[in-house]
A and B are shown apart, each in its own frame.
Chain A
């Protein structure tokens, strides 16, 4: 029983950054913009979260991380929504930029490109012997709030319209660019938060590449969850469970640990492969739009 509780807590700890990131991707993709750069934004959030926590403590760290995510997201939005560049190309560029910027500032701030010193974390919550970060219940709250806004408010309806049929939304008087910017910026903010959680709460420091592809897994979780806040949350936690179990496998030494490392990625691919035709993306996702129709 204790083992199960610990496993659940572990799954939560590992799955929450994916979940937060996936929520961000939800907002972005529901408005019609794919964001491959979530990985880079999350890493940026991890770095600046650690830097902020190092200087002024965890709360400032989190705020700084969110701000950093917003800045990267602003770039992505400007290039894709206003500049109408292919969304995936922009995302790849953002990832490269994030890698370079983190190293660059790493040198300047910590004199090390690839890691930071330890940073303090937020006070923890204990539940039945396992400890969790404040951010975990906060993330659940974000999921619920996202669902509420998306399905029950005019803002959510309009944002969805922009991602399904931008021409119709425009004819209805909705500003497609404004809502897409909003979606992408929210995505960046969430990605920054997810990164901050990783560096401040989870590991206690920033390490280069610490996201290990979680930004991409988040995109997969979005698909598996069928672009629904609760669905993607569940898919993310499932991934966290995969990872948690894989650590236990390593400890029990049944397989070389490299294969266990691979397992979550391969399993994710297997799930995606099995989903053919069963999920439904926002109809206009990935397509840039302009009123003149030259995209």
Chain B
């Protein structure tokens, strides 16, 4: 096997190795905490892969992670750490929700498209401030995006609980007070489900699992991003800006403009993270809208080495883990938080393995120089 193929093999093996390493570390933790690792992992796997509703769940859980991972990965290519996906997707989801409950009587495809556009616009606006602060004021995007996440939470609380709170709602039987949510969406904005298509492929997914259009949309987006990085000048400029900004500047690449474009692209993708849940599962935007997709996205991107196509299997893996977490909680009474802990461990193990691989390859490269 020649050198190049060896390197390729190593690059593919590394994520697998790091997952195994993470599972081992997780097993150690479980053992110390008093659980039986084999039992836990076995349950996790059989629950996640052995049932038809699990496959559907995995696909559904993976969808937001796909967008989040893509948003983080794209930014990373330019050397930008977009930790603010968390806030961006919530703002984006709210903007989409606004379109969802404010417009009526539109054909479905138009309504959903407008909602998607609103999500991207809102999210891009939200990332504009950190972008400006980094590019023109030298404020590190990690601090600015994290602080803005907190601002987003407060802003959303005000928007949902005060401004757009649905005061005309029917109070559900048994509850004493109204739900804190926006008005209901017009049904035309609901995302088309995939059950028919999956049925054709032989997958019988129960109705209550909301796998929808956003999954193939996400996959298409991943392919689109890959195409940008592989076949367009912008993609190469982004890579150069991320890996060698000084050199990029000296060859006439407008480095700040490239970074801005990357911020906006990442922001736009980030805005879409929550839409699969919003228009697939929920009927309004409320304060219980799921959180933490942003941080999970970081884990997804890392495992994929920031490669747009790699984000797809990576998101599926994390979807699998999440589904498995439900299983171990139900059947073994192991807290679901174990999955979160596993996520954190996985980030570290992936990072360690990749770093180790980088050093290994660097040493080999030095050996082949003239």
Contacts and interface: CB of A to CB of B under 8 A. Distances in A.
Answer whether A and B are interacting partners. yes
Nearest to B359: A294
Nearest to B336: A103
A272 B129 CA distance: 13
B157 A213 contact: no
Nearest to B146: A216
A77 to B, nearest CB: 12
Contacts of B139: 269, 272-273
Nearest to B157: A258
A294 B348 CA distance: 20
Interface string A196-240: 000000000000000011001101100100000000000000000
Interface stretch (A90-98, A121-129, A155-163, A179-187): A90-98
A200 B151 CA distance: 27
B19 interface: no
Contacts, number: 122
A93 B347 contact: yes
Interface in B116-172: 129, 133, 137-139, 142-144, 146-151, 154-155, 157-158, 162
B295 interface: yes
B63 to A, nearest CB: 20
B348 A265 contact: no
A96 B162 contact: no
Contact of B347 (A92, A212, A220, A294): A92
Nearest to B343: A96
Interface stretch (A44-52, A80-88, A133-141): A80-88
B299 A96 contact: yes
Interface string B321-358: 00000000000000101111101110110011001100
Given A269-B147, A276-B138, A256 B340 contact: no
Contacts of B257: none
Contact of A36 (B129, B142, B155): B142
Given A84-B355, A259-B154, A262-B151, A101 B347 contact: no
A216 B351 contact: no
Contacts of B143: 216, 219-220, 223, 272
Interface secondary structure of A, over-half rule: helix
B359 A97 contact: no
B298 interface: yes
B4 interface: no
A90 B351 contact: yes
B302 interface: yes
B363 interface: yes
Contacts of B221: none
Given A92-B83, A93-B344, A272 B351 contact: no
A89 B142 CA distance: 11
A104 interface: yes
A177 to B, nearest CB: 15
A294 B363 CA distance: 9
A262 B151 CA distance: 5
Interface majority SS on B: helix, strand, loop or mixed? helix
B197 interface: no
B347 A265 contact: no
Contact of B295 (A96, A217, A265): A96
A92 B145 CA distance: 13
A113 interface: yes
B295 A113 contact: no
Interface string B83-100: 100000000000000000
Given A272-B144, A273-B133, A97 B351 contact: no
Contact of A86 (B129, B345, B351): B351
Interface in A65-113: 75, 79, 83-86, 88-90, 92-97, 99-101, 103-104, 107-108, 113
Contacts of B295: 92, 95-96
A100 B292 CA distance: 12
A103 B144 CA distance: 27
Interface in B39-83: 81, 83
B363 A104 contact: no
A75 B148 CA distance: 27
Contacts of A3: none
A258 B81 CA distance: 27
Contacts of B154: 258-259, 261-262
A249 B302 CA distance: 43
A268 interface: yes
B105 to A, nearest CB: 33
Contacts of B150: 212-213, 262, 265
A266 interface: yes
Given A258-B157, A262-B150, A262-B151, A103 B348 contact: no
Interface of A: 36, 75, 79, 83-86, 88-90, 92-97, 99-101, 103-104, 107-108, 113, 212-213, 216-217, 219-220, 223, 256, 258-259, 261-262, 265-266, 268-269, 272-273, 276-277, 294
The 5 A-B residue pairs with the shortest CB-CB distance in the complex, in nearest-first order: A100-B340, A97-B344, A258-B158, A93-B347, A100-B341
Given A93-B345, A93-B347, A266-B147, 10 more contacts: A86-B351, A92-B295, A92-B347, A100-B340, A104-B335, A113-B337, A262-B154, A266-B151, A272-B144, A273-B133
18 contacts: A83-B352, A83-B356, A85-B348, A88-B142, A89-B298, A90-B351, A92-B298, A96-B295, A96-B340, A97-B344, A100-B337, A108-B335, A256-B158, A262-B154, A262-B155, A265-B151, A269-B129, A272-B133
Interface of B: 33, 81, 83, 129, 133, 137-139, 142-144, 146-151, 154-155, 157-158, 162, 295, 298-299, 302, 335, 337-341, 343-345, 347-348, 351-352, 355-356, 359, 362-363
